[in-house]
Chain A
């Protein structure tokens, strides 16, 4: 092939053809797979919500196992009794509430609209769980999760996930040993919704002290840990008015 690859016209044509080819392939792939990806994400949300209220298939130390995808839809309707959307003073029931995009709601709130806050009420073995979805910022990217509370505002379980925290450091927020520490902590300090802080040097690595609103931090993941603290505090404060109406004092 005797093409002069140094010519400007060749360079421009090459760039244009390349962009069209790569763009077409990626667009085709994205649109043909998007239904399947959306479905996976929807099931994952159900799995996460159930995980937070303790409906999971964890076996032994350190395992984080969800209800399998083929069973999760059934288990979700079995354990999640009500899904609410809180808009200011208005509370509506909606069984699609778990699909609400928290990021979009946060942007809406910034633009002065009323934020739609989803909340899930679960029931397992006769006890009630109030599950709050959370979203915040880690070191590199978004972090999110769910926290399950009982009527005394004591955490029954949490689930955290992240988009791009450092593997081995910040990414460990989704490890069992970190998430399990939250169970039993209260999000209240007196009557204040303080949340739970991820604290360095709280001198309680076994997390025996359950009334200090603190869990032990992860080494090497200070900013992600602070992100988790902020996320919990900000999220529960959004639900403060509602939580006050159900709290057993």
Chain B
């Protein structure tokens, strides 16, 4: 990439695979389990986290030299909560429909450990531009996993993608259902996400031996 130095580019590319926030750092697992029953919710959550994490990382990075270390977690929490509430209020006033869609995600974003995790691990020790890239990279890595999990859970659990039936109609038995195929109701409930994430980790680790710890 000509636009970014190699080091900067790695800040974005690393979290996509070898340092993925969900599968390697185990950050943001809670929301990955909760809201991936549908692809649409996964995409909305991924985009929201992208904005909040990139912006939050920059703000925390700018403040990194003046934040007292004793209360840094509280300061981080206030920054992210304030950011999210400001966006939420502005949307409520000027884009009400959109704010209705996003309102349920507000609480999930504020308490998402990927946000606090990146503030702590990166933004407090690096400059704003690097922190911005780190925010983008990590939220993309998070988003990819969310979308993969959402894809499989919605497809196998409801037989739809983005709400459109792709396997036929389970009630009138058309399409694939005519052959006796059934939706797996287990995929709808949150524990199924744990299994899908587990399988992703398994595939990722067997493809890259460097990720496996020595005993």
- Per the bound structure, the CA–CA distance linking A15 and B69 in Å amounts to 12
B189:A11 contact, CB within 8 angstroms: no
**A contact residues around B129 at 8 Å (CB):** none
The answer to whether A169 and B37 touch (CB under 8 A), given A15-B71, A164-B107, is yes
- Interface flag for A33 (CB, 8 Å): yes
Residue of B nearest to A222 (CB): B189
B78:A22 contact, CB within 8 angstroms: yes
In chain A, positions 166-192 with a C-beta closer than 8 Å to chain B are 166-169, 171
The answer to whether A205 and B78 touch (CB under 8 A), given A10-B68, A220-B188, is no
In chain B, positions 55-97 with a C-beta closer than 8 Å to chain A are 65-71, 74-75, 78, 82, 85-86, 89-90, 92-94, 96
- Interface flag for B198 (CB, 8 Å): no
Residue of B nearest to A23 (CB): B82
Chain B 184-198 interface 0/1 with A at a Cβ cutoff of 8 Å (1 = within): 010011000000000
- Interface flag for B175 (CB, 8 Å): no
**A contact residues around B212 at 8 Å (CB):** none
The distance from the CB of A13 to the nearest CB of chain B, in whole angstroms, is: 9
- Interface flag for B41 (CB, 8 Å): yes
B92:A220 contact, CB within 8 angstroms: no
The answer to whether A219 and B71 touch (CB under 8 A), given A3-B66, A164-B103, is no
The answer to whether A166 and B34 touch (CB under 8 A), given A10-B68, A18-B75, A219-B185, is yes
The distance from the CB of B29 to the nearest CB of chain A, in whole angstroms, is: 16
Q: What's the count of A-B pairs with C-beta under 8 Å?
A: 92
The answer to whether A33 and B90 touch (CB under 8 A), given A5-B69, A14-B68, A168-B36, is yes
- Interface flag for B177 (CB, 8 Å): no
- Interface flag for A100 (CB, 8 Å): no
**B contact residues around A164 at 8 Å (CB):** 103-104, 107
Interface size class of B (residues with CB under 8 A): 35 or more
- Interface flag for B122 (CB, 8 Å): no
- Per the bound structure, the CA–CA distance linking A194 and B86 in Å amounts to 43
Residue of B nearest to A22 (CB): B82
Interface size class of A (residues with CB under 8 A): 35 or more
The answer to whether A1 and B65 touch (CB under 8 A), given A26-B86, A29-B89, A219-B188, is yes
In chain A, positions 1-23 with a C-beta closer than 8 Å to chain B are 1, 3, 5-6, 10-11, 14-15, 18-19, 22
- Interface flag for A30 (CB, 8 Å): yes
Most-contacted residue by chain B among A22, A166, A167 (CB, 10 A) = A167
The answer to whether A168 and B67 touch (CB under 8 A), given A25-B86, A219-B185, A220-B189, is no
B75:A44 contact, CB within 8 angstroms: no
**A contact residues around B74 at 8 Å (CB):** 15
The answer to whether A167 and B70 touch (CB under 8 A), given A22-B82, A25-B82, is no
B70:A11 contact, CB within 8 angstroms: yes
A33:B92 contact, CB within 8 angstroms: yes
**A contact residues around B34 at 8 Å (CB):** 166
The answer to whether A33 and B93 touch (CB under 8 A), given A205-B171, A220-B189, is yes
**A contact residues around B69 at 8 Å (CB):** 5-6
A33:B89 contact, CB within 8 angstroms: yes
Partner-A contacts on B (CB < 8 A) = 34-38, 40-41, 44-45, 65-71, 74-75, 78, 82, 85-86, 89-90, 92-94, 96, 103-105, 107, 154, 157-158, 163, 171, 185, 188-189
Q: A40-B93, A205-B171 are in contact. List 11 more A-B contacts (CB 8 A).
A: A11-B68, A11-B71, A15-B71, A18-B78, A22-B82, A165-B104, A166-B35, A167-B41, A168-B38, A168-B41, A171-B41
